[in-house]
């Protein structure tokens, strides 16, 4: 069975929680005031399926313990205005773009930037 790259990255990031798959999901947040602009947007986050089924956010709770700079990296990536819209409960934080989400993940796990470059290959090209 082939496992996608995002799932492999997350399995290695938190090896104590068995995940079977990971995918990028989104939800509509309506209109966000951003400085002098108002934008209609969606927020992107990562959903992990675990074995056994995890309804309490165990993977992301363990991720946040293992990578305590996750919140600082989120603030660096989107700034405090947008960070206030980034859900940061027991699940994955959400971001206004797939690129922001994957850059945050890569920067949090591997500050050297190597992983971020690989993760950005998952972003669909404009027009796809």
Per-block mean pLDDT, blocks of 10 residues, the chain (128 long) = 81 93 85 61 86 76 93 87 65 88 94 90 73
- Domain residues for 31? 5-19+26-122
Q: Is 37 exposed, middle or buried (0-12, 13-18, 19+ CB in 10 A)?
A: exposed
pTM of the model: 0.83
In the chain, the number of structural domains is 1
- Residue 101 counted as domain residue: yes
- What is the rounded distance in angstroms from the CA atom of residue 5 to the CA atom of residue 7? 5
DSSP class of residue 127 equals: T
Q: Residue 31 has what pLDDT?
A: 62
- Residue 128 counted as domain residue: no
Helical H segments across 20-128, by residue range: 58-66, 70-83, 98-109, 114-119
Q: Residue 1 has what pLDDT?
A: 41
């Amino acid at each position: 069975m082939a496992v996608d790259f995002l799932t492999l990255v997350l399995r290695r990031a938190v090896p104590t929680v068995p995940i079977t798959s990971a995918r990028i999901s989104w939800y509509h947040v309506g209109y966000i005031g951003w400085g002098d602009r108002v934008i209609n947007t969606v927020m992107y986050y990562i959903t992990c399926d675990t074995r056994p089924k995890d309804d309490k956010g165990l993977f992301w709770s363990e991720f946040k313990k293992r990578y305590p700079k996750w919140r600082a990296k989120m603030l660096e990536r989107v700034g405090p205005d947008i960070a206030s819209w980034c859900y940061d409960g027991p699940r994955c934080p959400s971001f206004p773009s797939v690129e922001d989400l994957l850059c945050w993940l890569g920067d949090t796990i591997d500050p050297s930037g190597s992983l971020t470059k690989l993760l950005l290959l998952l972003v669909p090209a404009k027009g796809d």
